[in-house]
């Protein structure tokens, strides 16, 4: 059975502040701690729907550009171009990487459909995170940043080690806004330098 999600303080705050999802506070807290965005950045938001992260990113990049990608539809956000498709589909990814050009920041909040089976959910989450990392290899500029959600479990360390090969700084982090969900972590990679 899927875990019951409480409508907590962040849910109500998102409603009050006009954001589409409480997830926005996870990215905000990550950004406040790790300085992910700067004015003028090109950002790709993978697994963007319903759009809280894209709403935050578009505010942070000013004259920059935000491309949002999801296999589900997303209502328009001013200043964000939305592309519907599956990040595990190679042809779609190639197309998006051409549209995006050189990217400063790749963010991914992609989640599998939660089954409640801990190891299956973990494995599917790592699978999506690896696709997000692959996308960052294709598009990130030198010095670019990466934020990706991964459910903790046996393959978490291996995934972190893989990210460490391509970024100067890598850290796993659980923002306060995600603490209700015990297995959700974000891996932050800063200073992309390709795979050495």
Ligand X SMILES: C[S@@+](CC[C@H](N)C(=O)[O-])C[C@H]1O[C@@H](n2cnc3c(N)ncnc32)[C@H](O)[C@@H]1O
Which of the residues are catalytic?
Answer: 149
Binding residues among 26-45 for ligand X as defined by CB under 6 A: none
Among 53, 135, 159, 192, binds ligand X (CB under 6 A): 53
Q: Does 134 bind ligand X (CB under 6 A)?
A: no
Pick the closer one to ligand X by CB: 42 or 68: 68
Interface with ligand X, residue 124, by CB under 6 A: no
Alpha carbon 97 to chain centroid, angstroms: 16
Using CB under 6 A as the binding criterion, the count of chain residues that bind ligand X stands at 22
Tokens at 114, concatenated? 């939660």
Cis preceding-peptide flag for 50 (omega within 30 of 0)? yes
Question: Of 146, 129, 158, nearest to 27 (Cα)?
Answer: 146
Q: Is 100 in the site for ligand X (CB under 6 A)?
A: no
Can you say how many angstroms the Cα of residue 96 is from the centroid of all Cα atoms in its chain? 16
Could you tell me the smallest distance in angstroms from the CB atom of residue 83 to ligand X?
Answer: 10
**Residue 153 found at the interface with ligand X (CB under 6 A):** no
Q: CA 37, CA 154: separation in Å to the nearest integer?
A: 31
CA-CA distance, 89 to 70, in Å (whole number)? 12
- Contacting residues toward ligand X, per CB under 6 A: 20-21, 23-24, 47-53, 69-72, 86-88, 109-111, 128
């Amino acid at each position: 059975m899927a875990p019951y999600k409480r409508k907590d303080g962040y849910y109500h705050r998102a409603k009050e502040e006009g954001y589409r999802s409480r997830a926005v506070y996870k990215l905000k807290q990550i950004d406040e701690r790790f300085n992910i965005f700067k004015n003028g950045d090109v950002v790709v938001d993978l697994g963007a729907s319903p759009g809280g992260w894209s709403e935050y990113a578009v505010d942070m990049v000013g004259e920059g550009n935000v491309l949002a990608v999801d296999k589900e539809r997303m209502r328009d956000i001013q200043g964000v171009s939305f592309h519907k498709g599956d990040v595990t589909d190679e042809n779609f990814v190639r197309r998006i990487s051409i549209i995006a050009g050189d990217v400063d920041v790749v963010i991914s909040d992609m989640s599998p459909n939660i089954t409640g089976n801990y190891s299956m959910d973990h494995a599917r989450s790592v699978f999506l995170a690896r696709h997000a990392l692959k996308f960052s290899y294709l598009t990130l500029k030198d010095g670019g940043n990466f934020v990706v959600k991964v459910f903790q479990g046996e393959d978490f360390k291996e995934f972190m080690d893989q990210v460490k090969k391509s970024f100067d700084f890598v850290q796993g982090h659980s923002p306060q806004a995600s603490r209700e969900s015990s297995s959700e972590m974000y891996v932050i990679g800063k200073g992309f330098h390709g795979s050495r």
